[in-house]
Amino acid sequence: MPSGIIPSGYALVAGLSNTGKSSLLNALTETSISPVALQPASTRMPITAICTPGNAQICFVDTPPLESGYDWSIIDWVDVVVLVVDIKQFDRDLEKPVVKHFLRRARSKPVVLALGRSDYVHLEHRAAYVSRARCTNRFTDIVPVTPPLNFGIEKLKNAVLQNIPMRNRLFPRNINTLNSKRFLISEQIRTQLFSILPPDVAGETAVQVEETSQRDGRLYVRANLIVSRASSKGMLIGRKGQTLDRINRLSLDAIGEFTGEDCRLDLWVKVREAWTENKTDLLEFGYVC
């Protein structure tokens, strides 16, 4: 085999909203690169993380939920698809129109089924769920997983690796993501909004990072929280700035965990009326149109 040829490629992580895709990506790559919230804070753009099991290289791609209307042409250039479903309702979810459409779109690719939240099922019963899933004859492999407990992660990674082609290394060894640092920081901030604000307000608040720099040995971040209605500005700021201060504190913790750096964060609240209805604004703020 020619020198430098290794298993190297892309694995798409897909699933319905709130199935634990981001947690799974983080567990597979041993990072906190994809923000995780208790509330369904949908991934808005693909987030990538590269792991190197042994001498191999896999770029995992976390994607928006299947019901988001995302352009799934991305399937054409990945090597493997990981479909994440809730183990307790996977058979029902597999019959949903958006899931059926996705599987038809991915029919030319190896598809590994990840049965998420497998800790909800007794250990002795998990094999029965796997057998039921095998009866569909749709999947290359089926693996129960529980990302927070790191259960099934290595088995899933190996199942993906079996379908990664041999080729020249796609990325330099020191690269761990294809996303910009600014974008990933903005996602860490945006996720915190869903734990503090009403869902409709959080969903209509864009995060725009204006600056990231090093100052006095610390990472300095300046970002704007952009609301689509003037009435929402006061809600984000809160009485005597208490809500904005809480967003700042939670965001600092999330950014620090992601970057491993001591951070200073300046947040500003701005209004851009009806930006959620303007395609130019949506593209500027990094949303899928």
The 10s digit of each residue's pLDDT in 140-152 is 999 999 999 999 9
Whether pLDDT at 228 is above 60: yes
Domain that holds residue 159: 5-168
- Residue 223 counted as domain residue: yes
Q: Is the pLDDT of residue 4 over 80?
A: no
Above 60 in pLDDT, residue 41?
A: no
| Cα 213 → chain centroid | 25
Please check whether residues 151 and 208 belong to one and the same domain: no
Q: In the listed set 121, 138, 168, which residue is the last one of a domain according to the structure?
A: 168
Q: Is residue 289 part of a domain?
A: no
Do 186 and 118 share a domain, yes or no? no
Pair 17, 157 in one domain: yes
The reported pLDDT for the residue numbered 33 is 87
Confidence of residue 18 (pLDDT cuts 50, 70, 90): confident
Q: Which one, of 135, 125, 126, lies nearest residue 91 by Cα?
A: 135
Question: Which DSSP letter does residue 146 get?
Answer: B
The string of pLDDT tens digits covering residues 184-194 is: 999 999 989 98
Distances (CA, A) of 25 to 114, 209, 245: 12, 24, 30
Looking at the structure, tell me whether residues 143 and 245 fall in a common domain: no
Pairwise CA distance, residues 152 & 15, whole Å:
17
Helix 242-259, helix 230-237: angle, nearest 10: 70
Instruction: Please tell me the predicted confidence (pLDDT) of residue 184.
Output: 92
CATH number for the domain that contains residue 194: 3.30.300.20
pTM of the model: 0.88
Domain co-membership, 161 together with 249: no
17 and 137 part of one domain: yes
Q: Which residue, 26, 72, 73, 18, is CA-closest to 49?
A: 26
Encode pLDDT of 197-207 as tens digits: 998 899 899 99
- Is 176 part of a structural domain of the chain? no
Looking at residue 289, its pLDDT comes to 52
Do both 53 and 161 map to the same domain?
yes
As for how many domains the chain has, the answer is 2
pLDDT at 31 (0 to 100):
87
State which of 138, 168, 198 marks the end of a domain: 168
- CATH code of residue 127: 3.40.50.300
Q: Which amino acid, 190? A: R
Strands 80-86, 5-15: pairing is parallel
Let me know whether 196 and 145 are in one domain. no
